[in-house]
Amino acid sequence: MRFIVALTALPCLALGACDSDSGAPASFNASASDSTVVNTLDDAGRQKLCDEVVTFGESAVSVTEMKRLSCYGLALAFSAGESCEATAQACMKAEPTESESETTSSCNSGEFDNCTATIAEIESCLNARIAASKALAAKISCAADEDAMNALAEPAESACAPVEAKCPSLAEGGEAPVDNGSSDAGSGN
């Protein structure tokens, strides 16, 4: 299922912990000029952009939306029918683990070093991914129509294609440049 893959990449543009259930800003607008090419920013400018992306992501998608995306995404990937719904509901009711409740994210601005996308392209991609995440969170269920879910993710895929092409470090992992403080990323710790 293509939308399952999108679900794993979309939430907060993999921005780390989303720690707010409050309303999000209408859209992401970086402090740098829209026409600026990301890798032309100095170190401080890239770090500022990175921090702005993380801050926006943490405020734009609520904890509840993130949990719904994660729980139903996993249930759809590994369960079927009634088992899917039971798995998703058990996940939704579960208390967060220590790593899930960790709300501090830091950003590895080095991921932007070879990024030739413009600020406007980064903004467009992030705004589309956040919108898609929110739409998917509202519609996802075990009975969800795969085509309908794919249609919700498609605008983000289109908006992010230039960023993925121009920012190889971001495209390789399908993630934003985030370092959650764990040096053992593969273990889930």
Q: What is the pLDDT of residues 9-20, one digit of tens each?
A: 333 334 333 444
Judged against a pLDDT cut of 50, whether residue 111 lies above it is answered with yes
User: Phi-psi region for residue 181, left (φ > 0), alpha (ψ -120 to 50) or beta?
Assistant: left
Q: What is the pLDDT of residues 18-73, one digit of tens each?
A: 444 444 446 898 989 999 999 999 999 999 998 898 888 888 888 889 899 999 98
pLDDT of residue 49: 92
What are the structure tokens assigned to 11, written together?
A: 């939430």
Give residue 160's identity as a one-letter amino acid code.
Answer: C
Percent of the chain's residues with pLDDT above 90: 30
Look up the pTM and report it. 0.72
- Scanning the structure block, which residue is given the tokens 């921005």? 15
SS3 107: strand
